[in-house]
Amino acid sequence: MDAYIVFAFPVFGLMILAEAVLGLRAGRANYRLNDTISNVSQGLLNQITLGFTNLLLLGLYALVYARLGGSAPAALARLWDAWYGWPLAIVLVDFCGYWAHRCSHHVAVLWAAHVVHHQSQTFNFSTALRQESAFPILGGLFYAPLALLGLPPQMFALAWMVVLLYQVWIHTELVGNLGWFDRVFASPSNHRVHHALNDCYIDRNFGGLLIVWDRIFGTFTPEGEEACLYGTRPLLNSWDPLWANAIVYGKLLQDAWHARRWSDKLRVWFMPPGWRPADVAQRFPRPPFSLAEVRRFDPPLGRTARLAGVAQFLLCVLLCSAFLWYGRELGMARQALIVAALSVGLWLCGALLQGRMGIRTVLLADAALAVAAYLAR
């Protein structure tokens, strides 16, 4: 469990507050309370589950390195000790990340994991925190070739973190075109295109740190005059963090179950997102996506319920922070139990903000979770 991330929470909070204030001064209300809480809740869910999913990302990398990294030529081993070893490691991690990201938009099972990051209909710093919880499980294989080049696991982990943290600042609408910078690096303008629903922007600009990969491999599109609309096809229309992670997997399972041909039951998972076997699409049609019908999801909620939602969210932040700080002292079974309880707490927050559950019911559920946690000591 990585306790250091707790120190980053106030930094992220100040970044979000600063962007919200600057947006209001510029006449752009780029934050909504319910959407922001939903985004950050996904970030918390991601962090409390990383103790398990990172075992598969970093653990897989370390395993490949232990088995095959030693066979790398001696010249490569010396390369990582040179002054240019670190910059090269970051560039190579970003290159592998480009392909992992690109494939996550073109392979259904990978998209099912990555979709969480794209579900918000706003584009701001809180969107950057809306991280998927399952993708590290599936994305680790894309970085395994670096182990064959002898890149030490510690260098890989830090380079991967550098590329990930860089991407926080490019999630904003307050920064316009940056000229030459946009032609080399991933930037807010480039990344707005990536998150956009518009037909002219869909599935473009996958670079995390460098945008030159998109230029080289033909996936680059500059931001044009058409305003970006954000979200997924179809829209999530929910503040439920657990449903957000499960929705696409559920649809894939349904199509695989109903498909008559065994080959289609398998193809469902590896074809592009949206592909469906012909017999399934005929028997269980889904309405086509229409950009003209996109509406911002914002269910009405009374002031008291909003305040209760904020209180529930702050309680979850506090408890998640405590878990990230002290979690390493617990056994795996107790960690899993606490993660389950915290996940339910975040789910309750979403249910409260969506008006699907009353304040009294949420309080009773919180009390039950507290009793369960106490009995599991």
Is residue 362 a contact partner of residue 339, using CB atoms and an 8 Å limit?
no
Confidence of residue 1 (pLDDT cuts 50, 70, 90): very low
- Chain segment 284-316, per-residue pLDDT in tens: 999 999 999 899 999 999 999 999 999 999 999
Angle (CA) 211 272 35, round 5°:
65
**pLDDT above 80 for 104:** yes
Query: What pLDDT digit, counting tens, does each position of 336-360 carry?
Result: 888 999 999 999 999 999 999 999 9
Mean of all residue pLDDT scores within the chain = 91
- For the chain, the structural domain boundaries read 5-217, 303-375
Q: Give the rounded percent of residues in the chain with a pLDDT score beyond 90.
A: 74
Asked whether residue 157 carries a pLDDT value surpassing 80, the answer given is yes
Q: Is the pLDDT of residue 374 over 80?
A: no
**DSSP code string of 92-126:** HHHHHHHHHHHHHTTSHHHHHHHGGGG--SS-SHH
Question: Using alpha carbons only, what angle is made at residue 245 by residues 239 and 249, rounded to the nearest 5 degrees?
Answer: 130
Q: Shortest CA distance to 244 belongs to which of 170, 138, 357, 134?
A: 134
> Helices (DSSP H) in 28-151: which residue ranges?
33-68, 74-79, 85-104, 108-114, 125-128, 135-139, 144-148
pLDDT digits (tens, 9 = 90+) for 8-23: 899 999 999 999 999 9
Phi and psi dihedrals of 243, rounded to 5? Answer: -65, -35
Q: How many CB atoms lie within 10 A of CB 346?
A: 27
Which tokens sit at 114? 């990555």
Segment 37-90, tens digit of pLDDT: 999 999 999 888 876 655 556 777 877 888 776 666 776 778 888 899 999 999
Give the percent of the chain with pLDDT over 70.
93
- Give the 3-state secondary structure of residue 230: strand
Q: What contacts 127, CB < 8 A, 6 or more positions away?
A: 39, 117, 120, 171, 195, 230
